[in-house]
Structure 1
């Protein structure tokens, strides 16, 4: 399928989703997933349809597929973390959102930051930052000892 046609179909699917025509959007994105089973875009779109329908478990599963197919897709990763939070999996959602890099190109990092500032995430972000600080201190200590041994 030509890129222009594919982009048009994706746009039509999102148009249907935005206008709450979930069955039509799902139908279109499922067909695209059949045509492109190894591409993340259709699973991301299907996940958003399920998220719009408040079916967080199905959305997480589909967004997880998108992340598996395209680990660098920051938008899929951010939406996966959001769905995990909405499912009540605060530790998992926080960990997922903390892996969204600031790539400067998408709104994924901004979205992740907003959700990480929720009170439900606070205990997990503090724990992760404390662990990161401990690991960093241990790494610098090891480097310092190796440097001292090497110098002497």
Structure 2
């Protein structure tokens, strides 16, 4: 036993991924990612709601759909296991919001940020959330490992079938 283990540190013989999603670092990253996704969704809804009747502009409708997806990913991030695909979807959703802003405004993005305070908030939380989801993606084990762990946990909790029962 090493001095680190004796002092309450991590046991080097344990698989690092076995700690699962409840390490302090992953909990913090999940909290940041979820908060960023929810705030980004709220900001986009605040911008889109009054503009939903504007026929020539499709952005409000895309913002409502994107906000619903961002909230769904945030809820799944809290409730589901640590699936890399989920984290990639979260990063992709926030990255799409950010990339869409830059593509829509092009070289005038800085002027658009100066004119719209909601855009400043959105850009900041999108960058933070994107980084948090990418970090979660990098820290998560491959999906096959998570599925194997779930199956093993489920098999341990199931009662064995009685041979005499039809």
* Interval containing the TM-score (normalised by the shorter chain): under 0.3
**TM-score between both structures, scaled by the size of structure 2:** 0.25
Q: Which has the higher relative contact order, 1 or 2, with Cα contacts under 8 A spaced 6 or more apart?
A: 2
**TM-score between both structures, scaled by the size of structure 1:** 0.27
